Amino acid sequence: IVKILLDRGASIHHCDEQGSAALHQAAWFGRLDIVNYLLDAGASIHQCGYKGSTALDLTATGNFGYVAQVLLDYGADFRQVNGDGLRVVETAARYGSKTVIQMLVALGRNLD
């Protein structure tokens, strides 16, 4: 469906009424296939959505470490602060997303 919409002229950066773009929704639901497609099609990795959340933040709410890894590979900033004043590691801790925290640590990220 995403491909059809984009092929027919839908903006990859269009936001819903809460400010979330397609990349945010795909990350929120852990849809790695759609995340990859959107990133390859030019979706903005740094675009903020609802309450200043990035796609990377949203992976932490659902414990989708495999999606977080792809977003980091595309250049997502794990130090970026969301609208609640939290970085992704803090969001992951708030939601009990052990997989995302372990992935950040395993990558040798300085989480301070």
CA-CA-CA-CA dihedral for 22, 23, 28, 30, to nearest 10: 110
Q: What is the pLDDT of residues 24-72, one digit of tens each?
A: 999 999 999 999 999 999 999 998 888 889 999 999 999 999 999 999 9
φ, ψ of residue 106 to 5 degrees: the values are -65, -30
Band (112; pLDDT cuts 50, 70, 90)? low
Write the DSSP string, 62-74: HT-HHHHHHHHHT
For the chain, list the domains and their CATH numbers.
Answer: 2-106 (1.25.40.20)
Predicted confidence band of residue 109 (pLDDT cuts 50, 70, 90): low
Residue whose token pair is 């992951």: 92
Q: Which residues contact 8 (CB under 8 A, 6 or more apart)?
A: none
Q: Report percent pLDDT > 90 for the chain.
A: 62
